C-alpha cells in the first residue's frame, strides 16, 4: 500500500516536472518560430533603408533603427562613468558599512521600479523641468537611471575579483590612491563593464514604456546630434504604434523579428562573454 | 558470530581509478566494527557501498558481491535497503526543519502518518540517541539551533527512527569537540545490543575504545581484519603494525 | 625640497578632489531613488487631496472627461491585483516544476539548452509579447469562449504568466542549487527516493529563495505596461476574466499622452499608488532574501 503510494508520488511529480519543462521549452520555440515566420518575409531592403512616407505610400524603419542605436550610445556613454564610479566608490573607498548597504539597497529599489514609472518621472524631470522636451536625450537620460544598477553591480562584481595584492603592490611603490585605482583597479574591471553593457543594451533594446513620453513617437530621419534634441521613436515604440494605433501588422512583425534576432544575439554574446572571462580568470 | 553483511571480491572504480580492490569481509551481527586506515584508503568508499550511496556518483563501476541478511544488495530495492542499513555522516547534517520533523522524516517517508505513532517513534528515537532530555521542551524549534554534538546525536536519532538493523557511521565524531565525542562513543556502545554498527574512524584510540572488530584498509585493499584487541596487540601483517604504531598515515 | 613639498600637497588636494567625485558617484543611486520618490509624491499628492483619498482609492468609476468627472481608481487597483494573482497562479506552478527539473533531475545537455531558452524568453521585448498576444491569444480567446472581443483580463493574465516565467525559473534554480548536498544525502540514506528528497528536503530548504522568486514575479507582473496594454482591451471596467480592463500601469500609459489638468494630476497619483505597491513588494523581497542569508 505505502509502496504503491510512493510509486504514485514518484510518477506524479516526474510527470509534472516533465510537462512543465516541455511546456516552457515549447513556448519559447513556438514564440520564436511564429514571430520569425510572420516577420521575416516582410523584412525588405526598402523597409530597412527608408523612412515611412504617406506621400509615396511606403513603410520604412530606418529612422527607428538609427534612433535605437543613438539612444543606446547616448545612454551608455552617460551611464558607464556613473555606474563605474559608483562601483569604485563602493569597493575602493567606502568604509561605512551602513552607507554601503544603503547604496546597494537603493540600487535594488531602482532595478525593481517598473519602466512606466521611469517614463513618467523622466518626462517630469528631463522633458519638463529641464526643458528637454520630447527628445532622444530625455529618453537616454531616463534610460541612464534605469541601467545604473546593472552597470554598477557588474562592475562591482569584477572589482571584487581584482586581487588585493595588486593594490598593495601599487601602494607599495608609492602610488597614491587615485593612481592605484587608475592603473591597477580600473583595468581589472573591463570585463564587468562589458558584461554590464551587454545586459544594458538588451534592456534598452526591449524598452518601450519608459520611452513613450520621454523620447516621443516621431519617425523622422535625423543625424546623431539633431536626433538628440528631436523626438524620435525606437524600434519597440514603433512596433507598438504600427501594431496598436495603425494596424500595420506586417511592419510590426518585421520589427518583432528583427528585435527577436537581436535579443538572441545579445543573449549569446552575454553567455559567451561570461564564459570567456571566467576562463581567463581561471588561467 | 553470525555475519549480517558479507562482501566478496568487491572491487570499485571511480572512472579509471580503482578505489576498492577485491575486498572480502564478514561483518558480525550486533557488534561494532571499526574501519581504519590512512586517508584515501577506501574505508569510506567501502562503507558507502554497503547502503549503495555510491550509486549517486557518476562513472562508478562495481564488481563482486555484497549481501545483507543473505540478499544481494545490488538486487534489492535501494530504498528498502537504506531503511534497514541507516547512515550517520561525518558532518552533522540535520535538515533545516524542526527537531521533531527531522526525526519524523524517515518514518513519514516510509508511510507512517498517524500523529500518535509518530510521537511515540520520535520520543523513542530521541531517548535511544540520549538527547531526549535536552530537546523534549523544544521539539518544534529549528534543529539548526542545536550545538554540533547535539546535532550529531539528533542525526543518530533520525537514523534510528526508521528502525534499521545496521548503522553505518562515517567518522561521526571528527567534526566534534572531545566532550561531544565521548558522549557519542558512549552512545554507540549502548546501541550495539540492538544494532550492528560499522564505523569509519581516523582515530585509532577511538577504534580501540569502542569497537569489537577492526578492519585495516590500505590503498583500496583490506590488509587485516580481526578482533580489535588482537589486531592492535598482535597485528599479523607488517603494514598494520607500521600503521598502528604511527610509522605512516 | 620646496618643490617636492608642493607636489606633495598638490597631490593631497587632488586625492581629496578625486575622493569627493567618487563619493558623489557612489551616492548617485540613493539620489535617484530620492528624486523618483520626491517627484512622485509631490506630483501625486495634489490630485488625491482634491479628489479625497477614499473617493480616489475606493471609487469604482473612472470618468475623468465626463461632464461630472469622477476619479475612482478601484477598477485599476483590482485589475492589477487580480491580473498579478492570475499570472502567479498560472505561472508559478509551471516555473516551479521546471526549476526543480532543471536544478535536480535534468541531464546536463537538456539543462543547458532549456536554460538558454529561458534566458531567451527573458530577453524578448514586452511589445513583442504584446504583438503575439494581440494576434494569437486575443482571437483565440474570442473564438474559444465565444466573446465579442477577446481582449480581456484573461489574455493579460496569460501574457503576464509567460513573462514572469524566466525570473521565477532562474531564481528558483539558483536557490535549489544552493541547497547543501549533505541534506539530500541524509534523506537518501534514510531510504527516501530522489523525488521525495527533492520535494520534501530540497524544496523546503530553498523555500525563502523560491518565495523571493515568486515575489520578484509579482513585481514584474504588476509593473508591466506595454504588453498588457496591447491585449487587455484598455477600458476602465471592474475586473472580470472576460472583461476588457485597464491596469494601474496601462491607465498611466494610455492617458498620459493627452491628459491635462486634474486628469493628468490624477494619473500621477495612480503612478504613486503603483510605486507604493512596488515598494511593499521590494520590502517583501528583501525580507525573504535576508531570511535565506540568515539560515
Please give the angle made by the CA atoms of B197, B203 and B208, to the nearest 5 degrees.
60
The minimum CA-CA distance between C189 and chain B, rounded to whole Å, is 6
Q: Which helix (H) or strand (E) segment is B225 a member of?
A: strand B221-227
Answer whether A17 sits within 8 Å of C105, measured CB to CB. Answer: yes
- Kindly state whether B47 is in contact with chain C, defined as any CB-CB distance less than 8 angstroms: no
- Taking residues C268-288, report their average pLDDT: 92
Size of interface B-C (CB pairs under 8 A): 67
Answer whether C190 sits within 8 Å of B82, measured CB to CB. Answer: yes
**8 Å CB contact between C232 and C246:** yes
pLDDT above 60 (res C229): yes
**DSSP per residue, C79-90:** HHHHHHHHHHHH
pLDDT of residue A94: 87
Give the residue among C153, C176, C156, C152 at the shortest CA–CA distance from C164.
Answer: C156
Of residues C94 and C259, which shows the higher confidence score?
C94
**8 Å CB contact between A198 and A273:** yes
**DSSP per residue, B5-71:** EEEEEEEEEETTEEEEEEEEEEEETTSEEEEE-STTSSHHHHHHHHTTGGGGSTTEEEEEEEEETTE
CB atoms within 10 A of CB B175: 16
When CB atoms are compared, the residue of B53, B95, B110 closest to C189 is B53
Answer whether C132 sits within 8 Å of A35, measured CB to CB. Answer: yes
Instruction: Please name the chains neighbouring C, where neighbouring means 3+ C-beta pairs under 8 angstroms.
Output: A, B
**DSSP per residue, B158-171:** HHHTT--SEEEEES
Q: How many CA atoms lie within 13 A of B52 on its CB side?
A: 23
- Kindly state whether B246 is in contact with chain A, defined as any CB-CB distance less than 8 angstroms: no
The minimum CA-CA distance between A1 and chain B, rounded to whole Å, is 9
The minimum CA-CA distance between B131 and chain C, rounded to whole Å, is 19
Crossing angle (nearest 10°) for helices C261-294 and C248-255? 140
Answer whether C183 sits within 8 Å of B96, measured CB to CB. Answer: yes
The minimum CA-CA distance between C89 and chain B, rounded to whole Å, is 27
| Per-residue DSSP letter, C68 | S
Q: What is the pTM of this model?
A: 0.90
- Taking residues C263-274, report their average pLDDT: 94
The share of chain A scoring above pLDDT 90, in percent, equals 60
CB atoms within 10 A of CB C30: 18
Q: Which residue of B has its CA nearest to C199?
A: B109
Answer whether C189 sits within 8 Å of B86, measured CB to CB. Answer: yes
Give the residue among A232, A221, A237, A40 at the shortest CA–CA distance from C253.
Answer: A237
**8 Å CB contact between A141 and A210:** no
Going by pLDDT thresholds of 50, 70 and 90, the confidence category of residue C295 is very low
When CB atoms are compared, the residue of C182, C187, C191 closest to B91 is C182
**How far is it, in rounded angstroms, from Cα A198 to Cα A249?**
29
Instruction: Please name the chains neighbouring A, where neighbouring means 3+ C-beta pairs under 8 angstroms.
Output: B, C
Q: Which three cell numbers stand for residue A143?
A: 534610460
When CB atoms are compared, the residue of C188, C193, C201 closest to B53 is C188
Q: Return the SS3 of C193.
A: coil
Phi/psi for B37 (5° steps) reads: 145, 160
**How far is it, in rounded angstroms, from Cα C70 to Cα C60?**
9
pLDDT above 70 (res A120): yes
pLDDT above 50 (res C167): yes
Q: Hey, of A4, A5, A6, which one would you mutate to test binding to chain B, going by the most B CBs within 10 A of its CB?
A: A6
- R_g over Cα of chain A: 23
Torsion angle of the four alpha carbons B93, B97, B102, B107, in this order, in degrees rounded to the nearest 10: -130
**Tens digits of pLDDT across chain B (249 residues):** 688 999 999 999 998 899 999 999 999 999 999 999 998 888 999 999 999 998 778 889 999 999 999 899 999 999 999 999 999 999 999 999 999 999 999 999 998 889 999 999 999 999 999 999 999 999 999 999 999 999 999 999 999 999 999 999 999 998 889 998 999 999 999 998 899 999 999 888 999 999 999 999 999 999 999 999 999 999 999 999 999 887 665
Please give the angle made by the CA atoms of B170, B173 and B176, to the nearest 5 degrees.
140
Answer whether B110 sits within 8 Å of A1, measured CB to CB. Answer: no
Q: How many CA atoms lie within 13 A of B126 on its CB side?
A: 24
The minimum CA-CA distance between B34 and chain C, rounded to whole Å, is 20
Instruction: Please name the chains neighbouring B, where neighbouring means 3+ C-beta pairs under 8 angstroms.
Output: A, C
Answer whether C25 sits within 8 Å of A89, measured CB to CB. Answer: yes
Answer whether A17 sits within 8 Å of C249, measured CB to CB. Answer: no
Interface of A with C in 132-191 (CB under 8 A): 145, 148-149, 152, 176-178
- Kindly state whether A18 is in contact with chain C, defined as any CB-CB distance less than 8 angstroms: yes
Going by pLDDT thresholds of 50, 70 and 90, the confidence category of residue A58 is confident
On chain B, the residues whose CB falls within 8 A of the CB of A10 are none
- Kindly state whether B110 is in contact with chain A, defined as any CB-CB distance less than 8 angstroms: yes
Q: Which residue of A has its CA nearest to B108?
A: A2
Q: Is A272 exposed, middle or buried (0-12, 13-18, 19+ CB in 10 A)?
A: exposed
pLDDT in tens, C52-108: 999 999 988 898 888 888 899 999 999 999 999 999 999 999 999 999 999 999 999
On chain C, the residues whose CB falls within 8 A of the CB of B166 are none
On chain A, the residues whose CB falls within 8 A of the CB of B110 are 2
When CB atoms are compared, the residue of B79, B96, B155 closest to C191 is B79
**8 Å CB contact between A126 and A142:** yes
For strand B221-227 and strand B213-218, is the pairing parallel, antiparallel, or unpaired? antiparallel
**How far is it, in rounded angstroms, from Cα C149 to Cα C134?**
11
Q: What is the largest CA-CA distance in chain B?
A: 56
- Kindly state whether B78 is in contact with chain A, defined as any CB-CB distance less than 8 angstroms: no
Going by pLDDT thresholds of 50, 70 and 90, the confidence category of residue A221 is confident
Q: Is A2 exposed, middle or buried (0-12, 13-18, 19+ CB in 10 A)?
A: exposed
The minimum CA-CA distance between B126 and chain A, rounded to whole Å, is 25
CB atoms within 10 A of CB C96: 21
Going by pLDDT thresholds of 50, 70 and 90, the confidence category of residue A38 is very high
**How far is it, in rounded angstroms, from Cα B245 to Cα B233?**
10
Q: Which three cell numbers stand for residue A51?
A: 523612412
The minimum CA-CA distance between C194 and chain B, rounded to whole Å, is 10
Give the residue among B170, B171, B178, B173 at the shortest CA–CA distance from B151.
Answer: B173
Helix extents (H) in A161-234: 164-172, 177-180, 190-206, 224-229
Answer whether B95 sits within 8 Å of C183, measured CB to CB. Answer: yes
pLDDT above 60 (res A208): yes
B115-148 burial by CB neighbour count: b if 16+ within 10 A, else e?
Answer: eeebeebbbbbbebbbbbebbeeebeebbeebee
- Kindly state whether B8 is in contact with chain A, defined as any CB-CB distance less than 8 angstroms: no
* ipTM value for the complex: 0.91
pLDDT of residue C291: 64
Q: Which helix (H) or strand (E) segment is C182 a member of?
A: helix C181-189
Q: What is the mean pLDDT of chain C?
A: 91
Contacts 24+ apart (CB under 8 A), C85-88: C86/C153, C86/C154, C86/C157, C86/C160, C86/C161, C87/C157, C87/C160, C87/C161, C87/C163, C87/C164, C87/C217, C87/C221, C88/C161, C88/C164, C88/C214, C88/C217, C88/C218, C88/C221
Give the residue among A190, A276, A205, A262 at the shortest CA–CA distance from A237.
Answer: A205
Q: What is the mean pLDDT of chain A?
A: 90
Give the residue among C246, C221, C218 at the shortest CA–CA distance from C72.
Answer: C246
Q: Return the SS3 of A59.
A: strand
Q: What is the largest CA-CA distance in chain A?
A: 78
**How far is it, in rounded angstroms, from Cα C40 to Cα A132?**
19
The answer to whether the Cα torsion of C2, C6, C12, C15 is positive or negative is negative
Going by pLDDT thresholds of 50, 70 and 90, the confidence category of residue A217 is confident
The share of chain C scoring above pLDDT 70, in percent, equals 96
Q: Which domains does chain B have, with CATH numbers?
A: 3-244 (3.40.50.300)
Q: Which three cell numbers stand for residue C107?
A: 541531464
For strand B196-200 and strand B166-170, is the pairing parallel, antiparallel, or unpaired? parallel
Q: Which helix (H) or strand (E) segment is A122 a member of?
A: helix A115-122
Q: Which three cell numbers stand for residue B14?
A: 571511480
- Kindly state whether C189 is in contact with chain B, defined as any CB-CB distance less than 8 angstroms: yes
On chain B, the residues whose CB falls within 8 A of the CB of A1 are 111
Going by pLDDT thresholds of 50, 70 and 90, the confidence category of residue C4 is low
Answer whether A256 sits within 8 Å of C128, measured CB to CB. Answer: yes
Answer whether C185 sits within 8 Å of B106, measured CB to CB. Answer: no
pLDDT of residue B125: 95
Q: Is C10 exposed, middle or buried (0-12, 13-18, 19+ CB in 10 A)?
A: exposed
Answer whether C182 sits within 8 Å of B159, measured CB to CB. Answer: no
Q: Is A163 exposed, middle or buried (0-12, 13-18, 19+ CB in 10 A)?
A: exposed
- Kindly state whether A249 is in contact with chain C, defined as any CB-CB distance less than 8 angstroms: yes
For strand B221-227 and strand C62-63, is the pairing parallel, antiparallel, or unpaired? unpaired
pLDDT of residue B40: 83
Q: Which residue of A has its CA nearest to B109?
A: A6
Q: Which residue of B has its CA nearest to A9?
A: B109
Of residues A176 and B64, which shows the higher confidence score?
B64
Amino acid at each position: 500500500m505505502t509502496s504503491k503510494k510512493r510509486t504514485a508520488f514518484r510518477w506524479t511529480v516526474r510527470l509534472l516536472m516533465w510537462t512543465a519543462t516541455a511546456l516552457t521549452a515549447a513556448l519559447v520555440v513556438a514564440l520564436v518560430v511564429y514571430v520569425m515566420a510572420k516577420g521575416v518575409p516582410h523584412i525588405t531592403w526598402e523597409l530597412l533603408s527608408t523612412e515611412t512616407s504617406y506621400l509615396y505610400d511606403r513603410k520604412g524603419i530606418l529612422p527607428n533603427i538609427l534612433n535605437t542605436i543613438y539612444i543606446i550610445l547616448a545612454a551608455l556613454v552617460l551611464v558607464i562613468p556613473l555606474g563605474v564610479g559608483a562601483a569604485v566608490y563602493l569597493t575602493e573607498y567606502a568604509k561605512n558599512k551602513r552607507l554601503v548597504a544603503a547604496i546597494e539597497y537603493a540600487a535594488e529599489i531602482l532595478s525593481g521600479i517598473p519602466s512606466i514609472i521611469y517614463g513618467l518621472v523622466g518626462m517630469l524631470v528631463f522633458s519638463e523641468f529641464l526643458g528637454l522636451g520630447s527628445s532622444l536625450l530625455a529618453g537616454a537620460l531616463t534610460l541612464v537611471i534605469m541601467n545604473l544598477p546593472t552597470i554598477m553591480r557588474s562592475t562591482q562584481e569584477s572589482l571584487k575579483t581584482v586581487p588585493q595584492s595588486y593594490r598593495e603592490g601599487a601602494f607599495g611603490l608609492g602610488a597614491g590612491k587615485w593612481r592605484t585605482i587608475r592603473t591597477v583597479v580600473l583595468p581589472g574591471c573591463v570585463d564587468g563593464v562589458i558584461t554590464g553593457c551587454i545586459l544594458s543594451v538588451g534592456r534598452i533594446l526591449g524598452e518601450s514604456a519608459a520611452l513613450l513620453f520621454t523620447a516621443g513617437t516621431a519617425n523622422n530621419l535625423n543625424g546623431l546630434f539633431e536626433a538628440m534634441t528631436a523626438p524620435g521613436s525606437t524600434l519597440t515604440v514603433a512596433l507598438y504604434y504600427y501594431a496598436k494605433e495603425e494596424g500595420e501588422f506586417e511592419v510590426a512583425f518585421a520589427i518583432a523579428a528583427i528585435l527577436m534576432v537581436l535579443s538572441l544575439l545579445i543573449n549569446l554574446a552575454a553567455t559567451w562573454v561570461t564564459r570567456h572571462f571566467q576562463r581567463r580568470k581561471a588561467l | 558470530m553470525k555475519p549480517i553483511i558479507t562482501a566478496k571480491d568487491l572491487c570499485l572504480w571511480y572512472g579509471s581509478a580503482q578505489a576498492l580492490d577485491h575486498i572480502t569481509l564478514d561483518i558480525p551481527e550486533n557488534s561494532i566494527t571499526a574501519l581504519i586506515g590512512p586517508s584515501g584508503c577506501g574505508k569510506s568508499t567501502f562503507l558507502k557501498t554497503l547502503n549503495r550511496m555510491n550509486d549517486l556518483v557518476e562513472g562508478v563501476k562495481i564488481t563482486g558481491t555484497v549481501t545483507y541478511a543473505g540478499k544481494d544488495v545490488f538486487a534489492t530495492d535501494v530504498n528498502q535497503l537504506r531503511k534497514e542499513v541507516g547512515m550517520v555522516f561525518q558532518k552533522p547534517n540535520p535538515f533545516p526543519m524542526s527537531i521533531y520533523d527531522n526525526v519524523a522524516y524517515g518514518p513519514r517517508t516510509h508511510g507512517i502518518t498517524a500523529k500518535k505513532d509518530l510521537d511515540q517513534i520520535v520520543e523513542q528515537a530521541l531517548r535511544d540517541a540520549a538527547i531526549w532530555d535536552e530537546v523534549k521542551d523544544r521539539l518544534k524549534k529549528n534543529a539548526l539551533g542545536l550545538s554540533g554534538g547535539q546535532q550529531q546525536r539528533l542525526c543518530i536519532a533520525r537514523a534510528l527512527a526508521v528502525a534499521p538493523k545496521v548503522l553505518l557511521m562515517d567518522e561521526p565524531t571528527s567534526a566534534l569537540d572531545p566532550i561531544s565525542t565521548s558522549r557519542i562513543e558512549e552512545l554507540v556502545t549502548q546501541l550495539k545490543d540492538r544494532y550492528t554498527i560499522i564505523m569509519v574512524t581516523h582515530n585509532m584510540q577511538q577504534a580501540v575504545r569502542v569497537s569489537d572488530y577492526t578492519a585495516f584498509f590500505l590503498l583500496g585493499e583490506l590488509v587485516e581484519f580481526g578482533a580489535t584487541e588482537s589486531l592492535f596487540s598482535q597485528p599479523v601483517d607488517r603494514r598494520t603494525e607500521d600503521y598502528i604504531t604511527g610509522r605512516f598515515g | 625640497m620646496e618643490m617636492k613639498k608642493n607636489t606633495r600637497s598638490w597631490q593631497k588636494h587632488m586625492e581629496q578632489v578625486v575622493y569627493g567625485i567618487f563619493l558623489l558617484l557612489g551616492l548617485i543611486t540613493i539620489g535617484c531613488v530620492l528624486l523618483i520618490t520626491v517627484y512622485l509624491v509631490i506630483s501625486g499628492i495634489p490630485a488625491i487631496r482634491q479628489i479625497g483619498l477614499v473617493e480616489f482609492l475606493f471609487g469604482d468609476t473612472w470618468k475623468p472627461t465626463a461632464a461630472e468627472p469622477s476619479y475612482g481608481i478601484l477598477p485599476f487597483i483590482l485589475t492589477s491585483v487580480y491580473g498579478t494573482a492570475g499570472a502567479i497562479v498560472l505561472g508559478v506552478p509551471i516555473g516551479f516544476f521546471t526549476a526543480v527539473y532543471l536544478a535536480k533531475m535534468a541531464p546536463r545537455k537538456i539543462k543547458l539548452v532549456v536554460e538558454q531558452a529561458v534566458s531567451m524568453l527573458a530577453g524578448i521585448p514586452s511589445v513583442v509579447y504584446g504583438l503575439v498576444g494581440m494576434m494569437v491569444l486575443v482571437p483565440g480567446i474570442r473564438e474559444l469562449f465565444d466573446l465579442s472581443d477577446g481582449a480581456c483580463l484573461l489574455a493579460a493574465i496569460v501574457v503576464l504568466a509567460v513573462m514572469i516565467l524566466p525570473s521565477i525559473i532562474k531564481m528558483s534554480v539558483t536557490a535549489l542549487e544552493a541547497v547543501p548536498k549533505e541534506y539530500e544525502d541524509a534523506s537518501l540514506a534514510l531510504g527516501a527516493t530522489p523525488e521525495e528528497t527533492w520535494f520534501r528536503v530540497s524544496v523546503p530548504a530553498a523555500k525563502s529563495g523560491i518565495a523571493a522568486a515568486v515575489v520578484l514575479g509579482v513585481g514584474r507582473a504588476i509593473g508591466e505596461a506595454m504588453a498588457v496594454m496591447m491585449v487587455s482591451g484598455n477600458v476602465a471596467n471592474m475586473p472580470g476574466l472576460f472583461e476588457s480592463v485597464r491596469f494601474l500601469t496601462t491607465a498611466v500609459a494610455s492617458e498620459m499622452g493627452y491628459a491635462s489638468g486634474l486628469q493628468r494630476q490624477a494619473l500621477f497619483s495612480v503612478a504613486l499608488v503603483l510605486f507604493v505597491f512596488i515598494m511593499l513588494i521590494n520590502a517583501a523581497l528583501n525580507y525573504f532574501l535576508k531570511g535565506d542569508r540568515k539560515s
